[in-house]
Amino acid sequence: MSMPGEYPLSIYHGDSYHWQFKFWTDEAKTVPMDLTGVVAEAEIRNKPGGDQIFTIDCEIVLPNFVEATLSPLVSNSLPIGAMVWDLQLTFPTGAINTLLAGPVTVVQDVTDSIVPAAARAAAVQTTAPMTVELRNRIRRTP
């Protein structure tokens, strides 16, 4: 397997985020990666293997999308500064592949910066998804 593609995240403390990652098996992006039966997981941590863990909710949308959502509750609980993240897929065969990883920069918000996290969680999410298209970085073995 090759190394994950790098995708940096910039998070404005307390905001909602929704990313849509689209995976392909070819360079020309004509053959969608089949994500049937795949489980996607993503986490933000203070460092690789770190003990501060924040979950990015993931959902597979067939045929080749992973939709990732960071709630305002989780975003508001992130420490200000530098962190790391990755997106890992577990295939029905048991194969585990990390397709994306990168640095996370969390910037302190100004408006409502002292509102309790529970109140922020009740906020309506209006963030439009950001779409990123990627080709497969998995080496298939016979």
Kindly give the confidence (pLDDT) of every residue in the chain, 142 residues in length, as a single tens digit, with 9 standing for 90 and above. Answer: 589 999 999 999 999 999 999 999 998 999 999 999 999 999 999 999 999 999 999 999 999 999 999 999 999 999 999 999 999 999 999 999 999 999 999 999 988 766 555 554 555 444 555 556 555 444 433 3
Q: How many domains does the chain have?
A: 1
Rounded to an integer, what distance in angstroms lies between the CA atom of residue 38 and that of residue 40? 6
Residue 80's pLDDT is what? 95
Q: Residue 51's domain is classified under what CATH number?
A: 2.60.40.10
Residue 140 lies in a domain: no
Torsion of CA 21, 25, 27, 31, to 10 degrees: -90
For residues 9 and 131, what is the distance between their CA atoms, to the nearest angstrom?
Answer: 13
In 3D space, the residue among 117, 102, 134 whose CA is nearest the CA of residue 25 turns out to be 134
Is 93 within a domain?
yes
Residue 31 lies in a domain: yes
Residue 141 forms part of a structural domain:
no
In a domain? residue 139 = no
Give the per-residue pLDDT at 2. Answer: 80
Q: According to the model, what pLDDT value does residue 138 have? A: 44
Domain-embedded: residue 71: yes
* 52 within some domain: yes
Residue 100 lies in a domain: yes
